[in-house]
Amino acid sequence: MNSFKIALKNIKKSRSDYSVYFFTLIIGVAIFYMFNSIGTQGLMEDVSKSGNENVQMLISVMGGVSVGVAVILGMLIIYANGFLIKRRKKEFGIYMLLGMGKKKVSKILISETCVVGFVSLVIGMIAGIFGSQLLSIVVAKMFAVDVTGYTFDISGRAAVITILCFAAIFLVILIFNTKMVGRYKLIDLMNAEKAREKQIIRNTKLSVVLFILSFAVLTAACIEVGFFGEDMSKNGFIACSLILIVATFVIFASFAGFFQKLMEKRRGFYKKGLNSYIVRQFSGNMNTSAVSMALISLLLFISLCLFSSGFSIRTYLNNRLGNATPVDVTMQISSADPEGFLEEKGVPLNEWAGDYLQIPVYEGDSITISDTVAPVMDKAKETFMYADWTAHENVIKLSDYNRIEKMYGRDELVLGDDQYAMVSDFDLLNTLINPSMEQGNVLTPGDYQLSPAYKEVCYEFILMSGMSADMGAVIVPDAVVDSESSGLECSSTLVIADYNAETEEGKADIDAKLKAALGEISDRASNGELEKGETGVRLSTKTEIKEASVGTSVITVFLVLYIGIVFVVACAAIIALKVMSDSLDSVQKFRILSRIGAGENMRKKALFVQILMNYLIPLVMAAFTAFFGLRYIKGLISAIGTVNMTSGILFTFIIMIIVYGGYFLTTYEGCKKLVKG
């Protein structure tokens, strides 16, 4: 019988061993093709040609990330292949004992690798091609591109990249397998089943002590980052991160002994049914795979943080977009004569504006930023270490601000003659303003003493933006600004307008003209690059904000999905391979359980619990650390607004059930036959 026929028979005979390996290859190929096809399919080429810079950025980012993903998938496949080789050492030994040479064994192994690789590549490509159609439609919808002309399309470039990438991975595997078989001795192959992985910690008491200490240290580091991370120095954060990594490894190295000791203390539970067998079997397996389990837990921690924060940011941006663009354009011009400035730039106000407002903004030494947060100045300096607290605060008359409220469709503010209000949607700044106003912080512009009309800042924006970062203004009675003693003078003018065009094409033309005339100076103003005495402008248009928000949302989602799913697949596949290997080692133990009276249902339950614990323990550990990690991330992104993590966590839960749960069920089905008979 030739090598190819033997290889086919071996694959058929060992299909349960190959199931997880095969499943992983198909998912890897499909994911790799789907995300690399972005930008090269017909529909996505139309999106790219639309001129949206975010589309180009998405395509570029996906290309760069794909390199790292290819490396991760390659390492995973090689790792999975190594497990299969270990499982079949005795089989190779029998071949050699029957007179088959190492070259013949290598040919069989090469044939098996090629067959499995080819079949998984074909099935994965088919799955990826169909999946990419849905993916391209989703992206087009996100970028508001018409999909009525959609046609089924295959990306030749993505197909070639995928085939070449996985061909290179399998070439490495072929070389690896050939060298491995050539290095084995017959006696080692025949005794392979007797070989066991080394236990890291054998002493149970030492395991208990190390587990308790390492878990206490890990918890302390997580609390420090999660609750006090915003005030932590760079070196402190690095130290806590290193503690997280080291403590995770020590926890898993000592977990087996701790878990067994804990269960043995509960004698009623330990002696019930097959619980003692499950505990000892799981503890033994965990002790020999502590390093891989720790790595899996850390990768799952990263995945959980990526999924939860990424989807939460996406939901926040989408929700904010609906309320962030009540008009077509807002701009703040550092001039008391905005009409003259715009006419000088070639975009006269009366040519493009329909309904519009011109709102003067005042400044003066009597109301500085430090005055608005005076009661909490020490905390303010810690929060914004490099802020210029002597800078003037923006001041707007009450009547003028209520004109803005009316145009934005919001409720008007009401102030007494000796009261003021503050407007801002910059959450980090509001954490300082709110306690100041609650303490009754008094502002003294000239002869006036103004007390807060409200106990907290009015959470509203003045200039449109895709993020909650408007530092707002102080709203005061008109008489305060008109008083000479206040020292307040007009420093800039807000122009808030709707376009006089009725069609989307007409609005797009006005957008383009304003951007061409004011875009360059607006960018320089944002970067603080204006020359002394030069009139500046801050320009925000509805179209620009929508494109930026949608682009950021799409890129965030795709990065999270791409990297996160690959990490989860890698973790689940490694657990599956390890569990299947351990289960095969336990065949004789299940036979003994059968002979002493343990029924098939009891044996199945024992196997189910063992497999579940292998999947659950690293996930629970990752979820514990992710809880604190997400608190820290939420604090970091609070600069863009208050982000609700609930939606992101829900999406994460769904993805983990589909991917992680799918591997768990596949593993259980593959191992279930071991307990029969």
For residues 632-642, average pLDDT: 66
- Distance, in Å, from the CA atom of 91 to the CA atom of 106, rounded to the nearest integer, reads 13
pLDDT recorded at residue 90? 63
For residue 190, the model assigns a pLDDT of 47
User: Is the pLDDT higher at 653 or at 483?
Assistant: 483
Residue of 19 and 638 predicted with greater confidence? 19
468: helix, strand or coil: coil
Residue pair 670/19 in contact (Cβ under 8 Å)? The answer is: yes
**Average pLDDT score over the chain:** 78
Greater model confidence, 530 or 295:
295
- pLDDT at residue 450 in the model: 93
pLDDT for 322-337, tens place per residue? 677 889 999 999 888 8
| pLDDT tens digits, 572-627 | 888 887 787 777 667 777 777 777 777 778 888 888 888 888 888 999 999 999 88
pLDDT value at position 260? 80
**Using one digit for the tens of pLDDT, what is the confidence trace for 190-224?**
454 544 545 566 677 888 888 899 999 999 999 98
Give the distance, in angstroms, between the CA of residue 238 and the centroid of all CA atoms in the same chain: 20
Residues 497/463, Cβ–Cβ less than 8 Å: no
Q: What is the pLDDT of residue 213?
A: 93
* Whole-number percent of the chain with pLDDT over 90: 14
What DSSP line would sit under 126-184, residue for residue? Answer: HHHHHHHHHHHHHHHHHTT---TT------HHHHHHHHHHHHHHHHHHHHHHHHHHHH-
**Residue 85 host element (H or E):** helix 53-87
